[in-house]
C-alpha cells in the first residue's frame, strides 16, 4: 500500500490548491515518536535523522543513517538512497540544489494533528541544515497534501474499514444477546474485550475506554472509561467501540434500553430522544457530498436536536476515520476555536466520516455513531445504521 500512497501523494503535489515542488518527510528514532505519515509512505520507521523527498516530478529520494540502509533498500520505494554516517547535510543540499524546488512542503499544522508530525526540535535542526541557503524561505505547510492523502481512501482502504465495522457490529449483536441488568459497566466492557480478543483484532483506541460504557443518568462526558455503575432496568445504556483491521479502524456507538418489569417498549421520552438522534443523523447524511463544509453538516444535526427541545451536544458531529479513529483534517464541527479551520475545509470524495450526535435524557445518554463514505455526489453508509433502539429484557 505504500507504493499506492506515494503515487497518490505525487498526484496531489500536482493539484493546484496543494501544489508544491517538493514534499519532505523528516523522521528520527521512530520508536520514540514518529510522524504519523511515515506509516503510510514507508510502513516502517528509522533510527537516525532521515529525509524522504518526494518531488512533483515523481522523483523520490531517501537520506538516511547508514545502519538503516538495508531495511530501506528492501522497501524498493526510492529512486536513490543516500546513507550518511556523520551528517545528512551534504546530501540534502546537493539534492535541493540540483532540483531547486521553489516550495518545500513539510509536515506541520496548527489545526490538524495528522498533518503535524514534525517536532519543533527537528524543525530547528532543518533550519540549521538549511542555514545560509534560500531554501529555508521556501518552507510551507503540507497540511493540505496530508489532508488529501489521508482523506481520500482507496478501494482497498475502504474495504479494510468495512471489515473493521463488521467485526464491531457482530460484537454489538452479542451484547444485545448477553448483557443483563445487574451487570456493571466494567463487566460489560470485559465482555466486549473478551469477544474482541477472540477475534484477534486490537482496539481502535486506548483500551481503557475502548469500549466506553455509559449506563443511566449521568453528567459524564465521552472518553472516560467504564465504572462500577450498575445497569438497571429503566436505564438507557450505550457503547462506543471499534477495532483495527489491517491498520484501519472502526468507531461506532449504539444505544440500548433496559426494559422495566412489565414494559414491552421504552417510555415515550426514550423513544423521542432516540428518534431525534436517528433523524438528526439521517438529515446530516442526506446533506453530505463533495464540496460542502463540515460546519454546515454539523449545524443541520445540531439545529434539529435543539429544535426538538434538547441541549446541543458539546462536541463535533463527526470526524474522519482511517488508520486512526480520529483521522484526516476536515471535520463535521461547529466553529469553536478548538476546531480551528477544520470545519471549513470542503469535503472530498473518498473521505470516511463518523456521524455521532448525542443528547441527554433522564434515563441516560442517547448517542448513535454511524460511519459513511463520501461519494461522487452524496454519501454511502459503511455501517448498517441503527434504526431502532435495542432492547434488553
Binding site for a copy of itself (CB under 8 A): 28-29, 31-36, 44-45, 47-49, 65-71, 74, 84-89, 108-125, 128, 205-206, 208-209, 220-225, 314-315, 324-327, 336-338
Alpha-carbon dihedral 202, 207, 213, 218, rounded to 10 degrees: -150
Contact (CB, 8 A) for 343 and 335: yes
Sign of CA dihedral 162, 163, 169, 173: positive
For a copy of itself, give the closer residue by CB, 69 or 287: 69
Of the pair 145, 379, the CB lying nearest a copy of itself is at 145
Q: Closer CB to a copy of itself, residue 196 or residue 285?
A: 196
When the beta carbons of 134 and 208 are compared against a copy of itself, the nearer one is 208
Nearest distance in Å: CB 88, a copy of itself: 8
As measured in angstroms, the least distance from the Cβ of 205 to a copy of itself is 5
Question: Running DSSP on this structure, what letter comes out for residue 346?
Answer: B
Q: Which grid coordinates are listed for 69?
A: 540502509
- Within 13 Å, how many C-alpha atoms sit on residue 129's CB side? 21
CB 222, min distance to a copy of itself, A: 5
Taking the complex as a whole, the smallest distance from the CB of residue 312 to a copy of itself amounts, in Å, to 11
Question: Please, which residue, 128 or 173, has the CB nearer to a copy of itself?
Answer: 128
Q: What are phi and psi of 61, to 5 degrees?
A: -135, 155
Give the nearer residue to a copy of itself in terms of CB position, either 176 or 336.
336
Residue 358: helix, strand or coil by DSSP? Answer: strand
Tell me how far, at minimum, the Cβ of 319 lies from a copy of itself, in Å.
10
Minimal distance in Å, beta carbon 137 to a copy of itself? 16
Residues 19, 26: Cα–Cα separation, whole Å: 19
Q: Least distance in Å: CB of 141 to a copy of itself? A: 8
Instruction: Give the nearer residue to a copy of itself in terms of CB position, either 34 or 163.
Output: 34
Q: Which is nearer to a copy of itself, 247 or 289 (CB)?
A: 247
- Alpha carbons 119 and 76: distance in angstroms, whole number: 27
Q: How far is CA 104 from CA 19, 36, 173, 322, in A?
A: 10, 19, 50, 26
Comparing CB distances to a copy of itself, the nearer of 182 and 221 is: 221
Q: Please give the Cα distance from 338 to 370 (Å, whole number).
A: 23
- Name which of 175, 169, 213 is nearest 194 in CA terms: 175
Closest among 309, 322, 276, 26 to 161, alpha carbons compared: 322
- Nearest-approach distance from CB 325 to a copy of itself, in angstroms: 6
C-alpha to C-alpha distance for 16 and 220, rounded to whole angstroms: 45
Rounded CA gap, 189 and 238, in Å?
11
Shortest CB 365 distance to a copy of itself, Å: 12
Q: Is the dihedral of CA 78, 82, 86, 87 positive or negative?
A: negative
What is the C-alpha to C-alpha distance for residues 75 and 295, in angstroms, rounded to an integer? 41
Amino acid at each position: 500500500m505504500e507504493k499506492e500512497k506515494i503515487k497518490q501523494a505525487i498526484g496531489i503535489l500536482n493539484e493546484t490548491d496543494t501544489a508544491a515542488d517538493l514534499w519532505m518527510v523528516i523522521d528520527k528514532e521512530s520508536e520514540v515518536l514518529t510522524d504519523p505519515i511515515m506509516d503510510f509512505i514507508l510502513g516502517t520507521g528509522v533510527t537516525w535523522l532521515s529525509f524522504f523527498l518526494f518531488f512533483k516530478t515523481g522523483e523520490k529520494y531517501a537520506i538516511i543513517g547508514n545502519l538503516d540502509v538495508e531495511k530501506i533498500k528492501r522497501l524498493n520505494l526510492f529512486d536513490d538512497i543516500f546513507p550518511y554516517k556523520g551528517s545528512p547535510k551534504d546530501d540534502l543540499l546537493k539534492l535541493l540544489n540540483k532540483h531547486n524546488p521553489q516550495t518545500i512542503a513539510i509536515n506541520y499544522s496548527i489545526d490538524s494533528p495528522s498533518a503535524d508530525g514534525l517536532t519543533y526540535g527537528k524543525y530547528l535542526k532543518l533550519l540549521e541544515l538549511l542555514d545560509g541557503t534560500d531554501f529555508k524561505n521556501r518552507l510551507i505547510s503540507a497540511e493540505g497534501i496530508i489532508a488529501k492523502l489521508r482523506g481520500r481512501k482507496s478501494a482497498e482502504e475502504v474495504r479494510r474499514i468495512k471489515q473493521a465495522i463488521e467485526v464491531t457490529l457482530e460484537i454489538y449483536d452479542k451484547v444485545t444477546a448477553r448483557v443483563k441488568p445487574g451487570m456493571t459497566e466494567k463487566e460489560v466492557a470485559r465482555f466486549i474485550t473478551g469477544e474482541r480478543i477472540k477475534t484477534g483484532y486490537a482496539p481502535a483506541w486506548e483500551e481503557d475506554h475502548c469500549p466506553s460504557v455509559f449506563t443511566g443518568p449521568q453528567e459524564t462526558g465521552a472518553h472516560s472509561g467504564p465504572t462500577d455503575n450498575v445497569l438497571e432496568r429503566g436505564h438507557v445504556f450505550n457503547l462506543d467501540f471499534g477495532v483495527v483491521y489491517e491498520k484501519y479502524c472502526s468507531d461506532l456507538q449504539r444505544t440500548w434500553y433496559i426494559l422495566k418489569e412489565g414494559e414491552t417498549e421504552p417510555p415515550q421520552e426514550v423513544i423521542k430522544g432516540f428518534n431525534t438522534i436517528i433523524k438528526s443523523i439521517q438529515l446530516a447524511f442526506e446533506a453530505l457530498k463533495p464540496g460542502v463544509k463540515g460546519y454546515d453538516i454539523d449545524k443541520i444535526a445540531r439545529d434539529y436536536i435543539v429544535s426538538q427541545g434538547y441541549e446541543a451536544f458539546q462536541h463535533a458531529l463527526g470526524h474522519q476515520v482511517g488508520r486512526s479513529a480520529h483521522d484526516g483534517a476536515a471535520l463535521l464541527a461547529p466553529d469553536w476555536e478548538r476546531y480551528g479551520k477544520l470545519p471549513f475545509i470542503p469535503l472530498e470524495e473518498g473521505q470516511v466520516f463518523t456521524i455521532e450526535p448525542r443528547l441527554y435524557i433522564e434515563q441516560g445518554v442517547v448517542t448513535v455513531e454511524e460511519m459513511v463514505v463520501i461519494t461522487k455526489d452524496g454519501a454511502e453508509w459503511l455501517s448498517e445504521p441503527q434504526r431502532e433502539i435495542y432492547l434488553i429484557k
